[in-house]
Amino acid sequence: MTKNRMITFRLLRQATLPALLAAVGSIHAAAPDLSKLPPAAQRTGVTFAKDIEPIFKAACTKCHGDMKHKGGLRLDTLEATLKGGENAPNVIKGDSAKSTLVHSIARLDPDAAMPPDGKGDPLSKEQIALIRAWIDQGAK
Ligand code: HEC
């Protein structure tokens, strides 16, 4: 590399690093407000088969089931739910507050709310609380 090229390269690097940092900063600023999440239910022994599958069947699997996999996501089995979609994982075992599936059902970001606006009734606070408890208890 000639000396001139070196300098150009350095200048470029100096210019792109702050731009990159700014971009990361704006992603950070758009982080969901977790204080708006309904708290997890107190109930113990929450399982997918008993408690969660019926909720997903009623509200989610017409778009996330065996026929349609919107966002690359199926919610009709425990295994598929844990595998997640295009932005997997959506469920972080033991940490419902960090699970994007919980952010979406709590409608923290209107653009990522599930079910999408006008495409089904929002889940109730009780349903969200139960899904949070299920994830916090290890998503079994
Ligand atoms: C009417 C169709 C529809 C229904 C009903 C629906 N979704 Fe979705 N879902 C989508 C679409 C479409 C996407 C793809 C991203 C987007 O366009 O917002 C998506 C994406 C997602 C994602 C992100 C997946 C990823 O990895 O990017 C999650 C999590 C999710 N949905 C959860 C749910 C849950 C939980 C329910 C039920 C409470 C539900 N969805 C109901 C249409 C639906």
From the centroid of its chain, how far is CA 83? Answer: 12
Question: Which spans in the chain are helix H?
Answer: 3-29, 53-59, 78-83, 100-105, 125-136
Which residue bears the tokens 């033991």? 94
- Reported as a single tens digit per residue, the pLDDT across 33-91 is 999 999 999 999 999 999 999 999 999 999 999 999 999 999 999 999 999 999 999 99
Distance CA 86, CA 92 (A): 15
Q: Are residues 22 and 49 in the same domain?
A: no
What residue owns the CA closest to ligand 1's atom 17?
A: 71
Q: Are residues 110 and 85 in the same domain?
A: yes
- In this structure, what CATH number is given to the domain that contains residue 44? 1.10.760
Total domain count, the chain = 2
Amino acid in position 25: G
- Reported as a single tens digit per residue, the pLDDT across 117-139 is 999 999 999 999 999 999 999 99
Ligand 1 pocket by C-beta < 6 Å: which residues? 59-60, 62-64, 70-71, 73, 75, 84-88, 90, 100-101, 104-105, 112, 114-116, 119-120, 123
Domain hosting 19: range is 1-31
